[in-house]
Amino acid sequence: MFESSSVSRRALLAAVAAVPLTSLAKPKHIPVGLELYSVRDELQKDLPATLDAVAKQGYECVEFFSPYFEWSDDYAKQVRQHLDTAGLKCHSTHNGLNAYKPEGYEKAIDLNGILGAHYIVLASAGDVKTIDGWKHVAETLNQGNENFRKAKMNAGYHNHDLEWHPIDGERPLDVLANETTKSVMLQLDVGTCVEAGADPVAWIEQHPGRIRSLHLKDWSPDNGYKVLFGEGAAPWKKIFAAAESKGGVEFYLIEQEGSRYPEIETADRCLVAFNDLHGKS
């Protein structure tokens, strides 16, 4: 009886060993957060209550946008304490060009360090009209990245519609991707990509490891950005598959320009739709 049981156990162990480790490995958990521009009016009225509300909905992280840059260190510490209490992380912030100027580096590093952010994202380069102008933007990102890396942070760039439209046969976003170091994150705004007629899946696959964050904003030909996540034209399942197999995504951020519902309800409905479409990892 002992010998028979032992052989059976050995056979089972051998069978398990023959299964590739990748098939046994638990899928990596990718947190889903909220770009706080989505609840900007509520945030301005009561920041702590807004953070509490989105945490209770199930969001795991948040991204602060440019007004945060005016905070004092003491206020940023209060915000960080509230984030910790609410169980929220802040992996990135959205910034204007002031964070990328020599006189702004130290403040950007200090505030992001307090908040726990690793990516200082340039939210917009403004209305740049020439390829040389976009190359200058790339230089700005590279220089910022060198300064931020001293604090174990990285630069990032968030696209809008403008960067998808060619200038003299070149797309500005291709220029930025080619002219910046690979440690600069390319934060993909899906909605503006789809609106411009570009292919978000192809973009992700062309830049493996650099799409470490995505703004999950939907877009519809009929209603523009005034649609909830999942109601527009973005091929979300294909986007998730590409982001997780090649893009190197570290966290997702739902973003909403506005909808037919109040801000907090919109954020809640978008997260429910995300969990239905993507599934909880």
Q: Over the chain, what is the mean pLDDT?
A: 92
| pLDDT at res. 26 | 60
Mean pLDDT value across residues 92-108: 97
| pLDDT at res. 13 | 40
Q: Is residue 18 part of a domain?
A: no
Q: Which of 8, 12, 85 is nearest to 52 (CA)?
A: 85
Domains contained in the chain, number? 1
Beta-bridged to residue 89, according to DSSP, are: 61
Q: Which range is least confidently modeled, 14-28, 154-168, 254-268?
A: 14-28
pLDDT at 265 exceeding the cut of 90: yes
Residue-by-residue DSSP string for 160-228: -SGGGS-BTTB-HHHHHHHHS-TTSEEEEEHHHHHHTT--HHHHHHHSTTT--EEEE---BTTTBT-S-
Distance CA 228, CA 17 (A): 45
| pLDDT at res. 25 | 56
Q: Is residue 7 part of a domain?
A: no
Backbone angles phi, psi at 251, to 5 degrees: -160, 145
Q: Could you tell me the CATH number of the domain that includes residue 188? A: 3.20.20.150
pLDDT at 14 exceeding the cut of 70: no
Helix, strand, coil shares, percent, the chain, to 5: 50, 15, 35
pLDDT at 19 exceeding the cut of 60: no
pLDDT tens-digit readout, 198-254? 999 999 999 999 999 999 999 999 999 999 999 999 999 999 999 999 999 999 999
pLDDT tens-digit readout, 123-155? 999 999 999 999 999 999 999 999 999 999 999
Q: Is residue 264 part of a domain?
A: yes
Distance CA 246, CA 249 (A): 8
Distance CA 119, CA 263 (A): 25
Q: Side chain identity at 72, as an amino acid letter?
A: S
Q: pLDDT band for 8, please (50, 70, 90 cuts).
A: very low
| pLDDT at res. 3 | 37
| pLDDT at res. 165 | 97
Q: Which range is least confidently modeled, 2-6, 32-36, 146-150, 216-220?
A: 2-6
Q: Is residue 70 part of a domain?
A: yes
Q: CB atoms < 10 A from the CB of 64, how many?
A: 25
Q: Is residue 179 part of a domain?
A: yes
In the three-class reduction of DSSP (H, G, I as helix; E, B as strand; rest coil), residue 57 is classed as helix
Mean pLDDT value across residues 98-105: 96
Structural domain for 215, as ranges: 31-278
| pLDDT at res. 207 | 98
Q: Is residue 210 part of a domain?
A: yes
Q: Side chain identity at 200, as an amino acid letter?
A: P
Helix 73-86 vs helix 47-57: crossing angle, to nearest 10 = 30
Q: Is residue 25 part of a domain?
A: no
| pLDDT at res. 93 | 98
Q: Is residue 1 part of a domain?
A: no
| pLDDT at res. 209 | 98
Q: Which range is least confidently modeled, 12-16, 170-174, 276-280?
A: 12-16
pTM over 0.75: yes
Question: How does strand 61-64 pair with strand 119-122?
Answer: unpaired
How many CA atoms, within 13 angstroms, populate the side-chain half-sphere of residue 106? 2
| pLDDT at res. 279 | 83
| pLDDT at res. 16 | 39
